[in-house]
Amino acid sequence: MSLRRSFVVILVLLAFSSFACGGDPPDKEIQQAQNASDQARAVGADRYAVEEYTAAVDALKNAHTAVDQRDYRLALNDALDSKERAENAAKLAVDGKAAARSAAEKALTAANAAVTAADTKVKAAVTAHLAARTLADARAALEEAQAHVQEARTAIAGGDYYAALSAASAATQSAKVATDKLEAPSASTPRRRSGTR
């Protein structure tokens, strides 16, 4: 009777310790968190909602670590936290992406205007027979600006709005360099030599 009672006590203790650890590993919840993280990344959360997406990924890693340590209750909490953060990151990414697209399109419009203006000035400088070196430098800057505009268009088409914004800004800057090179000679007045009386 005593042996049987001891066996029952051991079974109860084992069941309790299993319950204390949270029962079985939360595989379903971890998989749901992984799916939510994958979906968030698919809509650009890794670029447009970086902070929340990173927190979701970290929580998922913590869930796996907790499973390895057989702390299933902590693993469950981390998995649920990861899923919630990933879903939130996906929502934030949609708004962030729309804002980035709008900014990129505005920057591209400004770059196009700057490149058109610089091109007009280069053509006028050719007609005015400006110095060959000045013209060559201005043309090189203009070509660089045009290349950046093309990069920006390609990036927008590919949905990489931060890259598009960067390329459009670079295009505007290069167009300004071209314009400045053409305006420099006319802006500076030649100095008179001081002759002897």
Each residue's pLDDT tens digit, 48-85: 999 999 999 999 999 999 999 999 999 999 999 999 99
Average pLDDT, the chain: 86
CA separation, residue 80 to residues 68, 72, 120 (Å): 17, 12, 60
Per-residue pLDDT at 5: 53
Cα Rg of the chain (Å, integer): 32
What pTM value is reported for the model?
0.66
Percent of all residues in the chain with a pLDDT value above 90, rounded to a whole number? 74
State the amino acid at position 33 in one-letter form: A
Each residue's pLDDT tens digit, 118-145: 999 999 998 888 888 999 999 999 999 9
Q: Do the beta carbons of residue 73 and residue 29 sit within 8 Å?
A: no
Residues in the chain: 197
The pLDDT confidence band at residue 186, using thresholds 50, 70 and 90, is: low
State the amino acid at position 53 in one-letter form: Y
What does the alpha-carbon distance between residue 137 and residue 146 come to, in Å, rounded to a whole number?
14
- Closest Cα to residue 36, out of 63, 67, 57, 61? 57
What does the alpha-carbon distance between residue 50 and residue 59 come to, in Å, rounded to a whole number?
14
Give yes or no for residue 109 having a pLDDT over 60. Answer: yes
Give yes or no for residue 177 having a pLDDT over 90. Answer: yes
**The dihedral formed by the CA atoms of 149, 150, 154 and 155, expressed in degrees to the nearest 10:** -30
User: Where would I find the beta strands (DSSP E) of the chain?
Assistant: none
Per-residue pLDDT at 190: 41
What does the alpha-carbon distance between residue 72 and residue 53 come to, in Å, rounded to a whole number?
23
Q: Do the beta carbons of residue 111 and residue 149 sit within 8 Å?
A: yes
Give yes or no for residue 192 having a pLDDT over 90. Answer: no
